């Protein structure tokens, strides 16, 4: 018996492809002997065997006369569970096939007397539904046909597992390609060597080419965008060669010459007989100088960045479709929030009147800058004091005209090991105890405490305040541990600094405790937040060298190197405080709390100390205004503190704002205290300028030169630039009329001095009446 498999689409002369079935193998090895595999095309199909699992159900036998051979197939179908029809004439065969769409057709081709098998084959092939049908022919040979049911059965099974499955696979492929054709993402398939095999209509729309212009072309033949760097192409190739998927942003050039930015995913598809690369091209942006969709008054030199998707074209009337694609873009979770915002604005621009679109252009320009929270100094701010304060407190470093010298300005904690013998709380000398009685008042005089404690106000005030807030109870630690901890921390403040010493820490702790007593603050925070805030205030400037971050960066100090010129001091204060705390069990206030509590507390402390870094000043203030003040002023009588408690992010914003305000509350203290603080900070700045000059370092804040500085001017600038807005916002939340009154008085004081051209802290005695 011989069986022929018909592949009409294969390039054989007759359209028949004959595959021998060897009799001898039938009994012993029938499953493996289905086809003679020396015909290369059949080998191609073998690879798909395992993939298609759908079982065939229908067979059509076209035999003019019933005989052993047709019976053999009939009973083989029966054994295999296939439904079988027999047709006796070409007409009934075609009719039956059109009705049932059998997967296998077996045509009797042994005798041309009854019908022409090739004719039948052609007429069946001419129907659309035969595209995936396997047609076999039984042809005569010098030996007898094989009518054994087993032989017929085996043949059918072989066909099912071979040709029929490959036809299923082809059918599935068609479905896949139909899906690709309808997909809104642009898809391109290239061979391993970058010859384009397929592009979908979305791709044609996106790139402006017809597929006929692309298929068969090598990618290198197409005009490339010069925006991709060589590194990117190397990276892509490395990924692909390893069989890994690559995703990222890639620039391509459209037929019209525009460069477009695409989010591309390239997936290698490794299969038999070669590999393919699938390029999925997601949303994209067009960079065009030549035309834009809408904006007429764009500045010539600005690049017009429009987001479009593969659904869009330059044709009019596609805005709604573009919008739906934009919606897809917005839902992409891998996008950074700022990208989403920009995309939303882009989409809103599409349907907006030109004035709105232009206003949104302005918004986009602002959003694309990285410094969203730092006000840009305009003409009104060209005051040298403001400039210097901003430069000195908010920028990392200044490039020196001279070579920067590397110095180590830090005197690590080695000089502070001598601790005074701990007192018990009842041992507190009466003069100290008496002073501390007034500790809850905003007008509490920290300098008096500094004097009576011999410059150790932090331990005493700390013990009193920590007791008031139940810190020992929360931490489950003894008063002795707490005292030892306060002593270690205080000892690591530099008493030689005129401003950043432990009196400043005590002052910030005092202000923090005062704020925590305010009803709305108390209502918004949990006990853990209170404890974290008090600890953060205590440690927030520990081991401060009396120099600014800019100075340390310019000087290439050890700390600046350690913290990569980023939040150098604040990182150091936090890290050192935790080292000092945990290295000795005697002062480890955290030793008795469980790991989870410790982690939460530690996180809150770190966050607060880092929030005191001035480069983030406007970010913290603006976030507070947007998330706390604004919703509060909009939601009339709602119980806002209960609302805040449910939102840890808002609690974080409040804690940051609280420590920031406590840290620079000195302009809101009673006049005499405010003046003292202004004198101290000025002295510290002067000392820095002196050292910068001595060492040939860049002078970070030239106005703070002891020979020329106007302290009133510097205070006016500091209040105008950093203090007023922040305390307005904090007062609107925490209700602090006393502070705001002091601030107004103090500001007036500095203004008066300035108007009288006085550069010092106070008027000379003769003007003082």
Residues in contact with ligand AMP by CB under 6 A are 393, 540-541, 612, 614, 663-664, 666-667, 677-678, 681, 715, 718
β-partners of residue 2 are 139
Per-position b or e across 56-78, b if 16+ CB within 10 A of its CB = bebbbbbbbeeeebbbbbbbbbe
CB of 475 to Zn ion, least distance (A): 23
What does 64-109 look like in DSSP terms, one character per residue? SS--HHHHHHHHHHHHHT-EEEEESSHHHHHHHHHHH--SEEEEE-
663 is in an annotated binding site: yes
CB of 536 to ligand AMP, least distance (A): 11
462 binds, among Zn ion, ligand AMP, none (CB under 5 to 8 A by kind): none
In the bound state with ligand AMP, the residue whose beta carbon lies nearer, of 132 and 455, is: 455
CB of 663 to Zn ion, least distance (A): 4
CB of 496 to Zn ion, least distance (A): 16
Nearest to 407 by CA among 551, 606, 193, 211: 551
Give the whole-angstrom CA distance, residue 288 versus residue 268.
31
438 is in an annotated binding site: no
Q: Does the footprint of Zn ion cover residue 541 (CB under 5 A)?
A: yes
In the bound state with ligand AMP, the residue whose beta carbon lies nearer, of 74 and 551, is: 551
651 binds, among ligand AMP, Zn ion, none (CB under 5 to 8 A by kind): none
* Catalytic residue from among 500, 544, 617, 742: 500
Which helix (H) or strand (E) segment holds residue 285: the answer is strand 274-288
- Which are the contacts of 239, defined by CB distance < 8 A and separation ≥ 6? 245, 246, 266
SS3 462: helix
Note whether 491 and 611 are within 8 A (CB).
Answer: no
In the bound state with ligand AMP, the residue whose beta carbon lies nearer, of 85 and 714, is: 714
Give the whole-angstrom CA distance, residue 42 versus residue 47.
10
502 is in an annotated binding site: yes
490 binds, among Zn ion, ligand AMP, none (CB under 5 to 8 A by kind): none
592 is in an annotated binding site: no
395 is in an annotated binding site: no
718 binds, among Zn ion, ligand AMP, none (CB under 5 to 8 A by kind): ligand AMP
Give the whole-angstrom CA distance, residue 38 versus residue 390.
82
In the bound state with ligand AMP, the residue whose beta carbon lies nearer, of 109 and 713, is: 713
540 is in an annotated binding site: yes
Give the whole-angstrom CA distance, residue 576 versus residue 412.
10
In the bound state with Zn ion, the residue whose beta carbon lies nearer, of 33 and 576, is: 576
Residue 500: active-site member: yes
β pairing state of 274-288 and 259-271: antiparallel
Q: Which stretch binds Zn ion (CB under 5 A): 219-227, 373-381, 524-532, 655-663?
A: 655-663
501 is in an annotated binding site: yes
- Which structure tokens are listed for 488? 């270690």
Nearest to 118 by CA among 1, 11, 8, 3: 8
- Which structure tokens are listed for 32? 């493996």
CB of 364 to Zn ion, least distance (A): 37
Give the whole-angstrom CA distance, residue 555 versus residue 697.
7
Nearest to 55 by CA among 164, 210, 148: 164
226 is in an annotated binding site: no
Phi and psi of 330, rounded to 5°?
A: -65, -30
Give the whole-angstrom CA distance, residue 541 versus residue 621.
20
301 is in an annotated binding site: no
CB of 682 to Zn ion, least distance (A): 15
Give the whole-angstrom CA distance, residue 418 versus residue 488.
9
In the bound state with ligand AMP, the residue whose beta carbon lies nearer, of 390 and 681, is: 681
- Which structure tokens are listed for 756? 């009288």
Give the whole-angstrom CA distance, residue 292 versus residue 284.
15
CB of 541 to Zn ion, least distance (A): 4
678 binds, among Zn ion, ligand AMP, none (CB under 5 to 8 A by kind): ligand AMP
In the bound state with ligand AMP, the residue whose beta carbon lies nearer, of 482 and 614, is: 614
Per-position b or e across 647-669, b if 16+ CB within 10 A of its CB = eeebbbbbbbbbbbbbbbbbbbb
Per CB under 5 A, which of residues 659..718 are in contact with Zn ion? 663
CB of 609 to Zn ion, least distance (A): 9
Note whether 26 and 146 are within 8 A (CB).
Answer: yes
Phi and psi of 8, rounded to 5°?
A: -65, -30
Residues in the interface with Zn ion (CB under 5 A) total 2
In the bound state with ligand AMP, the residue whose beta carbon lies nearer, of 58 and 385, is: 385
Catalytic residues, which ones?
Answer: 500
As annotated, the binding site for AMP includes 500-504, 541, 663, 715
Residues of this chain that interact with Zn ion (CB under 5 A) are: 541, 663
As annotated, the binding site includes 500-504, 540-541, 663, 715
As annotated, the binding site for Zn(2+) includes 504, 540-541, 663
């Amino acid at each position: 018996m011989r069986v022929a498999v018909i592949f009409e689409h294969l390039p054989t002369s007759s359209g028949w492809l004959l595959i021998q079935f060897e009799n001898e193998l039938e009994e012993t090895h029938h499953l493996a002997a289905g086809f003679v595999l020396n015909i290369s095309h059949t080998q191609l199909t073998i690879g798909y065997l395992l993939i298609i699992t759908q079982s065939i159900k229908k067979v059509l036998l076209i035999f003019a006369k019933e005989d052993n051979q047709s019976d053999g197939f009939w009973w083989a179908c029966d054994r295999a569970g296939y439904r079988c029809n027999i047709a006796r004439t070409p007409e009934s065969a075609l009719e039956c096939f059109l009705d049932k769409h059998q997967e296998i057709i077996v045509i009797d081709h042994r005798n041309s007397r009854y019908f022409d098998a090739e004719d039948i084959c052609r007429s069946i092939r001419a129907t659309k539904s035969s595209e995936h049908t396997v047609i076999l022919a039984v042809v005569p040979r010098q030996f007898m046909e094989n009518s054994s049911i087993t032989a017929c059965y085996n043949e059918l099974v072989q066909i099912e597992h071979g040709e029929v499955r490959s036809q299923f696979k082809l059918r599935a492929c068609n479905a896949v390609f139909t899906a690709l054709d309808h997909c809104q993402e642009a898809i391109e398939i290239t061979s391993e060597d970058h010859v384009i095999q397929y592009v979908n209509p979305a791709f044609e729309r996106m790139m402006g080419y017809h597929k006929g212009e692309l298929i068969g072309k090598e990618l290198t033949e197409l005009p490339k965008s010069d925006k991709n760097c060589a590194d990117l192409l190397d990276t892509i190739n490395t990924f692909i060669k390893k069989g890994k998927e690559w995703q990222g942003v890639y620039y391509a050039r459209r037929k019209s010459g525009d460069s477009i930015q695409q989010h591309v995913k390239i997936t290698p598809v490794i299969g038999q007989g070669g590999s393919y690369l699938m390029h999925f091209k997601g949303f994209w942006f067009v960079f065009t100088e030549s035309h834009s969709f809408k904006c007429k008054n764009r500045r010539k030199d600005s690049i017009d960045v429009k987001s479009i998707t593969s659904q869009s074209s330059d044709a009019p009337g596609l805005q709604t479709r573009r919008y739906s694609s934009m919606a897809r873009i917005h839902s992409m979770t891998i996008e950074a929030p700022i990208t989403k915002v920009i995309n939303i604005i882009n989409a809103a621009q599409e349907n907006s009147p030109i004035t709105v679109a232009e206003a949104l252009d302005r918004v986009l320009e602002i959003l694309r800058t990285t410094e969203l929270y730092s006000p840009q100094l305009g003409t009104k701010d060209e005051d040298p004091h403001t400039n210097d304060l901003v430069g000195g407190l908010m920028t990392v470093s200044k490039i020196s005209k001279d070579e920067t010298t590397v110095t180590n300005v830090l005197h690590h904690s080695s000089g502070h090991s001598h601790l005074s013998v701990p007192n018990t709380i009842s041992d507190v000398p009466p003069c100290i105890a008496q002073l501390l009685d007034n500790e809850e008042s905003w007008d509490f005089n920290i300098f008096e405490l500094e004097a009576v404690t011999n410059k150790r106000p932090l331990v005493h005030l700390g013990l009193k305040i920590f007791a008031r807030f139940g810190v020992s109870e929360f931490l489950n630690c003894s008063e002795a541990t707490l005292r030892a901890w306060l002593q270690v921390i205080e000892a690591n403040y530099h008493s030689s600094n005129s401003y950043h010493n432990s009196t400043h820490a005590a002052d910030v702790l005092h202000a923090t405790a005062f704020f925590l007593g305010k009803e709305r603050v108390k209502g918004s925070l949990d006990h853990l937040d209170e404890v974290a805030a008090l600890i953060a205030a205590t440690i927030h400037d520990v081991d401060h060298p009396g120099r600014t971050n800019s100075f340390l960066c310019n000087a290439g100090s050890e700390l600046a190197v350690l913290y990569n010129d980023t939040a150098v001091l604040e990182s150091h204060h936090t890290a050192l405080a935790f080292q000092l705390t945990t290295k000795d069990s005697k002062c480890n206030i955290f030793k008795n709390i469980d790991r989870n509590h410790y982690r939460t507390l530690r996180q809150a402390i770190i966050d607060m100390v880092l929030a005191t870094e001035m480069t983030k000043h406007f970010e913290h203030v603006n976030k507070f205004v947007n998330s706390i003040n604004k919703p509060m002023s909009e939601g009339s009588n709602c119980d806002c503190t209960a609302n805040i408690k449910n939102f840890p992010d808002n609690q974080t914003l409040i804690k940051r704002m609280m420590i920031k305000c406590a840290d620079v509350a000195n302009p809101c203290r009673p006049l005499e205290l405010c003046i003292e603080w202004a004198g101290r900070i000025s002295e510290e700045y002067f000392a820095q300028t002196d050292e910068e000059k001595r060492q040939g370092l860049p002078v970070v804040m030239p106005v703070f030169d002891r020979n020329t500085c106007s302290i009133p001017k510097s205070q006016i600038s500091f209040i105008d630039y950093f203090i007023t807005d922040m305390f307005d916002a904090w007062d609107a939340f925490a209700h602090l009329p006393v502070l705001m009154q002091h601030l107004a008085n103090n500001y007036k004081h500095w203004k008066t001095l300035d108007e009288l051209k006085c550069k010092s802290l106070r008027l000379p005695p003769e003007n003082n009446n």
